[in-house]
Structure 1
Amino acid sequence: MTEAELKPARRSIGATRNPASQEAILAAAEAVLLENGLAGFSIEAVARRARAGKPTIYRWWPSQAALLLDVYHSHKRINFIFPDRGNIRDDLRAYLTGILKTWRDGTSGEVFRCVVARAQEEPAALAALSAYMADRRCQSGKIVEKAQERGEVRPDVKAELVTEILSSFAWGRLLTERLDVSEAEVEAVVDTVIGGILTKPAA
């Protein structure tokens, strides 16, 4: 018997996620994706690797896209924090730099590219990605809202749109594998954006 056959399978525990089982499934999903690519990714392969039941995985993640997004978000939650440096230029610079670094270092960028690719083919994946991005826009928009409260940014500026412009720049670099962005490029992008939103001209 193989080592995998000697180890007991993880038992399904219903709708409530067991932290250890969840971690094992997320780790297995990442490993399967990186080893086999998007074409070779399946819930069956993840279940075998995690020694978990397919019903449990489908109960917790109703689609492959939902599982991949959780793999991605588990990394981003650890590696990315929304900045609060006290001024809009530094906050947006840290925000854009943080996104690029998160996608460049480790496996987060590859996982997210796979999520985006899946969303082009499957309505369920697109819905999952759209919901995730709507939540991220809401969260990142608070960077601009705080600047508005400080009087740095005009009150008519749409907060979520500002960070979406910056993240769109990052998306373009991710999808074309050009994540090695220099500090000067980050500065140029941020200065271009804030030049149109400040209550007074940038110094």
Structure 2
Amino acid sequence: MTQHEPDDSDERRRSIGSRRNPQTQQAILEAAEALLIEGGVAGFSIEAVARRARAGKPTIYRWWPNKTALLLEVYHRQKVAPVHNDTGKIETDVALFLTHLMAHWGNTGAGQVFRFIVAEAQRDAVAAEALRRYGAERRAQTGKIFTRGIERGELRGDVDAELAAEILSGFAWQRLLTGRLQISAEEASQVARQMVRGLLAPGR
């Protein structure tokens, strides 16, 4: 190798920094996703991701403080199911949210990944903070289902949309953590009906 030919360590050193290099970031996320598909959570580690992505561990740890933070980003990238629908009717939107989320968790490796993330958050403060931030983002997103219901006049004006989203997510998480991801359209509609009707505006 001549003095003008860069080696792998040169490339790795150039990728280290607080600002993410888009190509390196993509390589890391793709490597992490591939490892999850091939070996599940058991075969996932920062070391394995670094080898697969040809990236330095310091780069990964600078952008993702631990394995849980990286798993959360990969998990979010995999959430392709259309869980946030706008049908014009709050009960239908809530039922579809549950149906699609449960299917996504049950039919892909996403449920296993999220169970691991929740478990890690019970023993590691950094993981818990990563999950807390992610949960806040999800409550804001899912809360839009209820905000639309308020704007349409279906729900009372004093309904806290993010609190309603947290109640809905709490049901979903409880099902995930107890291994009960099968939910029929009828059951999802029943859950939506029992939850939403306590939020309805008078006369609805």
Query: Could you say which TM-score interval applies, normalised by the shorter chain?
Result: 0.7 to 0.9
Tell me the residue number matched to 1:96. 98
Tell me the residue number matched to 1:62. 65
Counterparts of residues 42-81 of structure 1 (less than 5 Å): 42-76=45-79, 78-81=80-83
TM-score by length of 1: 0.85
Task: Deviation per CA, 1:168-202: give whole Å up to 9, x if none.
Answer: 22112211222111111101100100121111466
Tell me the residue number matched to 2:3. none
TM-score by length of 2: 0.85
Tell me the residue number matched to 1:134. 136
Q: CA RMSD in A?
A: 2.3
Q: Tell me, what secondary structure is at the counterpart of 2:78?
A: helix
1:176 corresponds to 2:178: yes
Counterparts of residues 1-203 of structure 1 (less than 5 Å): 11=12, 12-13=14-15, 14-33=17-36, 38=41, 41-76=44-79, 78-200=80-202
Task: Deviation per CA, 1:90-141: give whole Å up to 9, x if none.
Answer: 1111222222122122221111111111111100000110111011111211
Deviates further, 173-182 or 122-131: 173-182
Alignment-mate amino acid for residue 176 of structure 1: T
Q: Tell me, what secondary structure is at the counterpart of 2:200?
A: coil
Q: Report the CA distance shift for 1:98/1:109 in structure 2 as closer, same or farther (over 3 A).
A: same
- 5+ residue gaps, structure 1, are 1-6
Q: How far off is 1:154 after superposition?
A: 0.8
Q: Tell me, what secondary structure is at the counterpart of 1:110?
A: helix
**Percent of residue pairs identical:** 52
Alignment-mate amino acid for residue 96 of structure 1: L
Alignment-mate amino acid for residue 86 of structure 2: D
